[in-house]
Amino acid sequence: MNYEDLLAMRPGITFSEDGEAQVLLWAPKAEKVQVQFGKEGNALDLEQRDYGFWTLQTRALWPGDRYGFLLDRKGPFPDPATLYQPEGVHAPSEAFDVLKFQWTDRNWKNPAMKDYIIYEVHTGTFTPEGTFEAMEAKLDYLVALGVNAIEIMPLSQFAGGRNWGYDGVFPYSVQDSYGGPEALQRLVNACHKKGIAVVLDMVYNHLGPEGNVLSHFGHYFTDKYHTPWGDAINFDDAWSDAVRHYFVQNALMWFRDFHIDALRLDAVHAIKDFGPVHILQEIRQQVDMLARGTGKEHYLIVEMDLNDTRFVKPIEAGGYGMHAQWIDEFHHALRVSSGQERSGYYSDFEGVASLAKSLRDAYVFDGIYSDHRKRKFGVKADGIPGQQFIVFSQNHDHIGNRMLGERTSQLVSFEMQKLLAGTVFVSPFIPLLFMGEEWAEPNPFQYFVSHTEEELAEAVRKGRKSEFAAFHLEGEAPDPVAISTFENSKPQWALIDQQPHRTMLHYYRKWIALRKSEAVLHECDRDGLSAEVFEEKELITVQRVWGRQHLVAFLNFSKSPQEVLLPFEHLQWHKLIASSDPAWNGIQEMPALAGAGALSVAPESITVYINTINS
């Protein structure tokens, strides 16, 4: 078996259709490797291959068997590519046959990226039960809401049963407390039946601390670089070929074996790779090859603290080929526009001026000086279509990054919440909602972990305290290890039938329906958008044109009514939506029809008019 053959295989244990187990392990640090399995602790020798790989073909291992690897008779250690850890990170792995599941989604087609309306969920808190099975029971609710993609926060096995997911230590695994790998397959299958795509949040920049055994096997990490969260993954140092193989095959597995529609790759600015082919580019190339074989389309979405179009440009244009990226700067400008504090990373933003720039240009900092960073930052995003940018008024990070984890509903008025939502939907970008925002959920979403090692738990507590130093906050952050912090972060589903939450839910449903039905909102066309800012009025006028449709939106972030002008006197404008209307618990009914001239727009509101130009 040559090197290329080895790199074409998935790490870990896979089963053929006739039940034979194929074992592939990378363990260049070991002189002897055995797989130990079963109640009797039987051990089978693996055959040493070139470049640190070890293989075994056997019919002695079966799905459901517990196993681990002995390295020079030390261990057993869980499998670095384990799919299931039913008793947690410190226990044996369980062999799982991904081919066993009977999929019924043959006719499923992943929506075009521009059609995505994304709903971010945390499995452990989204429902009282905190499982994939319980999430299935909420799919009809999501269909009624109108979203067509759920983004699941990381689910790779972490220590304990409570974690945001960014402390996972086995990237191939599916968290046991959520239901394990088969429950995930059932959820994805059910989502596709309901017309919902599934985006999986994956972490390829670091691994968590507790239960991390990869260093026993091989050179997965490097001292060349460092991340804020742990050792940097070795993507370009000695022995990096096999590490790259491990992560490339991981991405392919989610698409191929779990029918995931898109991966959201966490904090890719912390992925350090100065080799000739960046690991993200290699993943994109391999995903494209998979798509050509299966006929299924899959997307790669990145989160990054870089305004660098290289990540989203096509490979043939010198980019890495990612399909889309989150834009934090849109969120930051939106928050400051709503009157919230300008401390920490919000200090760079000038409210409505920055927001209007983000609506037009995607990036706020596109080569201009950042006082927060003390340097010029970013490049212009000219030529990058709107569907390659994902925007939001809140998400897990920017809620949980607050010391008390307050959602927007606890920071601004009901009217301002409606304005923030409307700004997201009127933008030429892909909208993302965070679970519960659509009914103005008041519970926080706080940072929580369940490390079983007390020294590590205490280190996390201290880390949270020091993290808020840049925000100059007084008081103490909630204990991230306390179960109450986790329980307090669960949305209250009973509120959707109570006011004013019911009204907010219907308001979101209306916006989502408009986003789908009105081409001028549905098409992510940046060229047909203009955004004029009136800083003294804290007002932005957005105009969008697509085909024969012309839309005008007035975004009033001030606490006073503002006079605005509808353009083009020969046009008759039809009201699309006004957050100030009594239907949305507002204080001012805007006219259903209006000609060119002055209108008074209510405080903290968004008013949208549309006209279809006759040919």
Residue 573 sits in a domain whose CATH number is: 2.60.40.1180
Q: What is the pLDDT of residues 4-21, one digit of tens each?
A: 888 888 999 999 988 999
399 annotated to bind ligand: yes
Q: Is pLDDT at 140 greater than 80 in this prediction?
A: yes
Catalytic residue ranges? 266, 303
Q: What is the DSSP letter of 170?
A: B
Could you give the strand order of the β-sheet that contains 549-556, starting from the edge strand earlier in sequence? 529-534, 539-546, 549-556, 605-612, 573-578, 593-594
Residue 455 has pLDDT above 90, yes or no: no
Percent pLDDT > 70 in the chain is 97
- Determine whether the annotation assigns residue 162 to a binding site: no
Residue 52 lies in a domain: yes
Average pLDDT, the chain: 94
b or e along 7-30 (b: 16 or more beta carbons within 10 Å of the residue's beta carbon)? eebbbbbbbeeeeebbbbbbbeeb
Is 329 known as a binding-site position?
A: yes
50: buried, middle or exposed (CB in 10 Å: 19+, 13-18, 0-12)? exposed
Q: Is the pLDDT of residue 398 over 70?
A: yes
Number of domains in the chain: 3
Q: Is 396 annotated as a binding residue?
A: yes
Q: Does residue 235 form part of some domain? A: no
State the pLDDT at residue 74: 96
Q: Is 397 annotated in some ligand binding site?
A: yes
Assess if residue 464 is contained within a domain. yes
Position 615 scores a pLDDT of 41
Other residues' Cβ atoms within 10 Å of the Cβ of residue 534: 16
Q: Could you give the CA distance from residue 450 to residue 4 in angstroms, rounded to a whole number? A: 40
Q: What is the pLDDT of residues 561-605, one digit of tens each?
A: 999 999 987 788 999 999 999 999 999 999 999 988 899 999 999
Q: Which of 444, 443, 449 is nearest to 480 (CA)?
A: 449
pTM score of the predicted model? 0.96
Q: Are residues 148 and 284 in the same domain?
A: yes
d(CA 378, CA 385): 17
**Binding residue per annotation — 269?**
yes
CATH number at residue 308: 3.20.20.80
Question: Are 538 and 503 within one domain?
Answer: no
Whether residues 498 and 597 share a domain: the answer is no
Was 330 annotated as part of a binding site? yes
Q: What is the pLDDT of residue 467?
A: 65
- Tens of pLDDT, residue by residue over 550-563, are 999 999 999 999 99
d(CA 557, CA 446): 27
Q: Which residues form the domain of 90?
A: 3-100
pLDDT over 60 (residue 471): no
Residue 562 lies in a domain: yes
pLDDT at 60 over 70: yes
Which of these ranges, 112-116, 487-491, 591-595, has the smallest mean pLDDT? 591-595
**Which residues, in sequence order, are CB contacts of 305 under 8 Å at separation 6+?**
267, 269, 328
Q: Please indicate, yes or no, whether residues 39 and 149 belong to a single structural domain of this protein.
A: no
Clarify whether residues 398 and 546 are in a common domain: no
Q: What is the mean pLDDT of residues 92-104?
A: 97
- In this structure, are 343 and 437 located in the same domain? yes
Q: What SS3 state is found at 399?
A: helix
The pLDDT of residue 106 is above 90: yes
Q: Is 540 annotated as a binding residue?
A: no
424 and 486 share one domain: yes
Asked if 280 and 300 count as a contact pair (C-beta separation under 8 A), the reply is yes
pLDDT single digits (tens) 264-315: 999 999 999 999 999 999 999 999 999 999 999 999 999 999 999 999 999 9
pLDDT of residue 460: 72
Residue located via tokens 């491990």: 246
Q: Is position 543 within any domain?
A: yes
Query: Is 242 part of any domain?
Result: no
CATH of the domain at 26: 2.60.40.10
Q: How confident is the model at residue 506 (pLDDT cuts 50, 70, 90)?
A: very high
Question: Residue 348 — pLDDT band, cuts 50, 70, 90?
Answer: very high
Q: What tokens does 413 get?
A: 């008025």
Burial category of 442 from C-beta neighbours within 10 Å (exposed 0-12, middle 13-18, buried 19 and up): middle
Distance of alpha carbon 293 from alpha carbon 435, whole angstroms: 35
CA distance 248 to 233: 13
Residue type, 137: A
Cα dihedral 200, 231, 268, 445 sign: positive
Query: Does 308 show up as a binding residue in the annotation?
Result: no
Residues 547 and 571 in one domain: yes
Using one digit for the tens of pLDDT, what is the confidence trace for 141-162?
Answer: 999 999 999 999 999 999 999 9
pLDDT score for 458:
76
pLDDT tens for 413-427 read: 999 999 999 999 999
User: Any idea what DSSP says for residue 253?
Assistant: H
Instruction: Decide if pLDDT at 469 tops 80.
Output: no
Query: Do 243 and 203 contact (CB within 8 A), yes or no?
Result: no
In a domain, 438, yes or no: yes
Report residue 473's pLDDT band, with 50, 70 and 90 as the boundaries: low
User: By C-alpha distance, which of 67, 52, 60, 49 is closest to 12?
Assistant: 67
- How crowded is residue 489: how many other Cβ atoms within 10 Å of its Cβ? 25
The annotation status of 398 as a binding-site residue, yes or no, is yes
Is 412 assigned to a binding site? no
Residues 496 and 602 in one domain: no
Q: For residue 214, is it within any domain?
A: no
Residues in CB range of 434: below 8 A, 6 or more apart: 120, 392, 394, 395, 396, 399, 445
Residue-wise pLDDT for 312-347, tens only, equals 999 999 999 999 999 999 999 999 999 998 888 899
pLDDT digits (tens, 9 = 90+) for 39-52: 888 999 999 999 99
Q: Same domain for 83 and 162?
A: no
- For residue 433, the SS3 value is strand
Do 95 and 140 lie in a common domain?
Answer: no
Contact 78, 85 (CB under 8 A): yes
- In this structure, are 480 and 548 located in the same domain? no
339: phi then psi, degrees, rounded to nearest 5: 95, 5
Question: How do residues 350-387 score in pLDDT, each as one tens digit?
Answer: 999 999 999 999 999 999 999 999 999 999 999 999 99
Residue after which a domain boundary falls, among 462, 485, 514:
514
